[in-house]
Structure 1
Amino acid sequence: MNPTDVIVVGAGPTGLMLACELAQAGVRCRLLERRAEQPNITRAFAVHARTLELLDARGLADDLMPHGVPIRGLQPVPGATLDLRKLETRYPMLLIVPQSGTERVLEARAHELGVEIVRGAEVTGLRQDARGVVVELADGRTETAEYVVGCDGAHSKIRELAGIDFAGKQYETHILLADVRLTEPPGDTLFAATGPEGVVLMIPFGDGWFRAIAWDRLREQVPLEVPLPMAEMRDAFRRIAGTDFGMLEQRWSSRFLSERRQARRYRAGRLFLAGDAAHVHSPLGGQGMNTGIQDAMNLGWKLAAAVRGQAPAGLLDSYESERHRVGAQVLALTDAFNRLVLGRSAIRRAVRGVTIRLLLRFGPSRRLLAGRLTGLGIHYPATSRHAHPWTGRRMPDLACEGGRVYELLRDGRHLLVDTTGAAGRSVGNAVKAVRYTGPAVPGLPGAILVRPDGYVAWAGAAARDLPAHHEQALTRAER
């Protein structure tokens, strides 16, 4: 018998989120991290509305909010604004928070749940068979488990050992990153400027430090290993934005090569990929960390069911079928943003800008773009053509007996919401049955079975219509 059920490789936001999901479900999990110490860098800084909803579903959003700066509107191109306050969510915003802040919140929860985080554990080999997986480490030790998940970033060793192709391309223009202090901060909370020589962004962390980002065409061929002095970042901002905002101090800087790649597969037998190990893309749009955390939420409850011997046929395969499709959509979105602001042709950039402004003028296209950008529009295809239209959709945060939907999901179980006013139906301990207590909503199904990751597993006219295969799978979870 393996002493560990699941080995998670990589202690970034994706790996930490997945470890928390598994531990909460009672799965024995070990988190292996190659870095001996946490580095003082943070590349990701945007937490979108859907990710905040999912963190709320585990009681973590309120812990994260004080560490961030909320942004209520975005301007994809000059003259076009996306008003996030109109989003139908508890979190109508983009939360600007350093990745390190998100990791601290997730790591604190992992420790509460008893997750063992092993730092300085570099994976060098991997083999698997029908019984489990053996992970070999650089110090000669081995770790065994039923499953392994690679959350170890764009240069994933797990992906390499599995022989999974990482298809895509590199972008030409390097990204310049620096954390700086300013004597003349911009008036806009999120500042952006474009010009013939590139793009610059200035993003507040809320503690006096700002993240300066530049795509500088004049410096795109400088090797990545060359140090980035503050004078170079100042020069980029002065040329592109007309000001450097009085950059006074720099605590960290780096050159970063942006890529557009996706793993051909997210699963190879007992091995899975999530986060940057599965997909990397342009940072424009702030999608990377959000997509990884959502990968973890999708995979966590499914792996837990498999470890307990309760997963129905095809459940583990559904991780790849659902999340690979989402990953491809995110790559398409961020690639479009990249071409919009960094395209070589001024005429094409202008045409794309006009197109974006037109799209944001009309309700349906504006809602579609907002849904794609914030993650609120993500949905999974139904496996049956007879399924209710709500199946696979994001579950709204309805008011129910005992609390909101996302409060009621915090124990990681399925949730059966009865909106007909009938007494809550029990389907064993693996699912919580509650009554809807909010106002009448046109088109609201009579009963909705919500997955632990906040998506609709089934919907119908009444709770008594819950199909046998759903009820059997949920009931098995008690054993």
Structure 2
Amino acid sequence: MTDRAVPEGAGAEGAGAEGAGAAGAGTDAPRHDVAIVGGGPVGLVLGCLLATRGLDVVVLEARDGPSGRTRAIGIHPPGLRVLDAVGVGDAVRAASVAIRSGVVTCEGRTLGSMRFGREPIRSLPQRETEALLERRLAQLAPGALRRGVRVERVVDRGTHVELVTDGDRSDPLVAAYAVGADGVRSGVREALGIGWRQRPGVGEYIMADAPDAPDAPDAPDGPPTLASSAASAAAETALLHFEPAGVVESFPLPGARRRWVARVRRRPAVLEPATLEAIIAARVGASLALDSAGAPSAFTARQHLAERFAAGRIALVGDAAHEVSPIGGQGMNLGWLDAAHLARELAAALAGGAAASPHEAFDGYAVIRRRAAARAMRQAAFNMSMGAPATGIRLRARNAAVRMLAVPPVRGILASSFTMRRL
């Protein structure tokens, strides 16, 4: 790999003091086993997993503090098992809400439902999950997370990796291996010259979090509706309204709140609480009152897959390797599964002396996790297509398909897909 600069503003992950697990001593030897660029949920999980194995890890994060943005909330059973391995699983269970079932409706009629069995999806705002992970990393490897550090250059020297940061241009940080966990705009991926290919699945959405509505009776025929969100929250149910104008989704959150997501044909010119309130009222006849804390945000769901997940001594993980539509909530969890696999590969490589010959260190990881990402994207593209605006024959065909998918044994297979048991 030739010297290539990471663009200004790319996420950087912090370095801690040298520890007993460092991959050598002396001026020419790596000072850390692994340097992780990016301190989001995936970078933090990877750092924790490596620290539990006694490795010297440093996590470099460009942000000075945690992000307050409304982002991922769904924690799927395989992802929760990774969090158990990190040591925060019980804390997540205590702080989160369990989503045990889902109901799909259209124009006031129930199309189907599914239950997620003994392993529900947990709902917890990403900022709270990140806070738990950051505290855990501080316990396992004090000082490993360095905030406000931007990585400006990443260089694979063959025997080690050098990372030049904005705070120390003359003396680069040195590690046996480096990992890019710096998101969809990954500077590490760009520095490696790895292609970023778009995959099927794109849509415009607006979303907001809001208090649950006052108690309201269910519809006469029994299915939960947006108007009865308090009842559905108590039942730990996700509501998906596949309306002709586009899907409206509602998910329970801790603290008697819910997340609302609506698909739109194009982003509104003016995005105010009243915008989302009007969309929900028009599509499902429900009244939603957003407070100032629930100001809506707009996002474009896209899907991309990196052409390679590794090059030499540098690997990509999470959103740096794959951008998966958040519709279905798989991106963050997929990144955690990447991290679990990558942690095993890195530990084996360092224990086996692969520091002198890195070319096969990431081969298994790159093949297996790229295939898993491709499967997740196909599932997410299907989810997005089902929630797209539809009328006439297309609407009737979609509703018929939903009814068919809600019948055993297909319903069980679909529930397994939504809970990521196959990834």
Instruction: Please say if residues 284 and 334 of structure 1, whose CA atoms lie closer than 8 Å, have aligned partners that are also in contact.
Output: yes
C-alpha distance in 1, partners of 2:46/2:241?
37
Secondary structure (helix, strand or coil) at the match of 2:341 reads helix
5+ residue gaps, structure 1, are 86-90, 379-479
> Equivalent residue for 1:82?
114
Secondary structure (helix, strand or coil) at the match of 1:192 reads strand
> Equivalent residue for 2:72?
44
Q: CA deviation at 1:310?
A: 5.4
For residues 295-325 of structure 1, what are the alpha-carbon distances to aligned partners after superposition, in whole Å with 9 as ceiling and x for unaligned? Answer: 1011112101212235699553110111100
Is the aligned partner of 1:99 residue 2:126? yes
For residues 351-387 of structure 1, what are the alpha-carbon distances to aligned partners after superposition, in whole Å with 9 as ceiling and x for unaligned? Answer: 2432343233232x33332322212233xxxxxxxxx
Alignment match of 1:281 (pick from 317, 324, 328): 324
What aligned pairs does 1:208-223 form with structure 2 within 5 A after superposition?
208-217=256-265, 220-222=266-268
Is the aligned partner of 1:152 residue 2:182? yes
> Equivalent residue for 1:392?
none
Instruction: Please say if residues 276 and 288 of structure 1, whose CA atoms lie closer than 8 Å, have aligned partners that are also in contact.
Output: yes
Secondary structure (helix, strand or coil) at the match of 2:303 reads strand
> Equivalent residue for 2:5?
none
Q: Which has the higher contact order (CA 8 A, sep 6+)?
A: 2
Instruction: Please say if residues 68 and 95 of structure 1, whose CA atoms lie closer than 8 Å, have aligned partners that are also in contact.
Output: yes
> Equivalent residue for 2:254?
206
Question: Identity of paired residues, percent?
Answer: 31
CA separation of 1:353 and 1:314: change in aligned 2, threshold 3 A: farther
CA separation of 1:179 and 1:359: change in aligned 2, threshold 3 A: closer
CA separation of 1:161 and 1:252: change in aligned 2, threshold 3 A: farther
Is the aligned partner of 1:111 residue 2:138? yes
C-alpha distance in 1, partners of 2:168/2:98?
46
> Equivalent residue for 1:340?
386
Q: CA deviation at 1:7?
A: 0.8
Instruction: Please say if residues 60 and 146 of structure 2, whose CA atoms lie closer than 8 Å, have aligned partners that are also in contact.
Output: yes
Q: CA deviation at 1:290?
A: 0.8
CA separation of 1:293 and 1:281: change in aligned 2, threshold 3 A: same
Secondary structure (helix, strand or coil) at the match of 2:327 reads coil
For residues 203-257 of structure 1, what are the alpha-carbon distances to aligned partners after superposition, in whole Å with 9 as ceiling and x for unaligned? Answer: 232214432222122xx1447xx6x321112112112221233334434432212
Secondary structure (helix, strand or coil) at the match of 1:296 reads helix
Task: Name the count of aligned residue pairs.
Answer: 367
Alignment match of 1:239 (pick from 263, 270, 282): 282
Q: Which amino acid aligns with 2:322?
A: H
Instruction: Please say if residues 150 and 277 of structure 1, whose CA atoms lie closer than 8 Å, have aligned partners that are also in contact.
Output: yes
Instruction: Please say if residues 202 and 303 of structure 2, whose CA atoms lie closer than 8 Å, have aligned partners that are also in contact.
Output: no
5+ residue gaps, structure 2, are 1-28, 215-227
Secondary structure (helix, strand or coil) at the match of 1:39 reads coil
Cα-Cα RMSD:
2.3
Alignment match of 1:366 (pick from 411, 419, 422): 411
What aligned pairs does 1:257-336 form with structure 2 within 5 A after superposition?
257-309=300-352, 314=360, 316-336=362-382
C-alpha distance in 1, partners of 2:418/2:49?
25
TM-score, length-scaled by structure 2: 0.80
Q: CA deviation at 1:328?
A: 0.2
> Equivalent residue for 2:241?
193
Secondary structure (helix, strand or coil) at the match of 1:17 reads helix
For residues 268-295 of structure 1, what are the alpha-carbon distances to aligned partners after superposition, in whole Å with 9 as ceiling and x for unaligned? Answer: 1111111111111221211111101111
For residues 36-84 of structure 1, what are the alpha-carbon distances to aligned partners after superposition, in whole Å with 9 as ceiling and x for unaligned? Answer: 1112123100111222233234442211111111111123564221211
CA separation of 1:92 and 1:12: change in aligned 2, threshold 3 A: same
TM-score, length-scaled by structure 1: 0.71
Q: Which amino acid aligns with 2:71?
A: R
Q: CA deviation at 1:326?
A: 0.4
Alignment match of 1:34 (pick from 46, 55, 62): 62
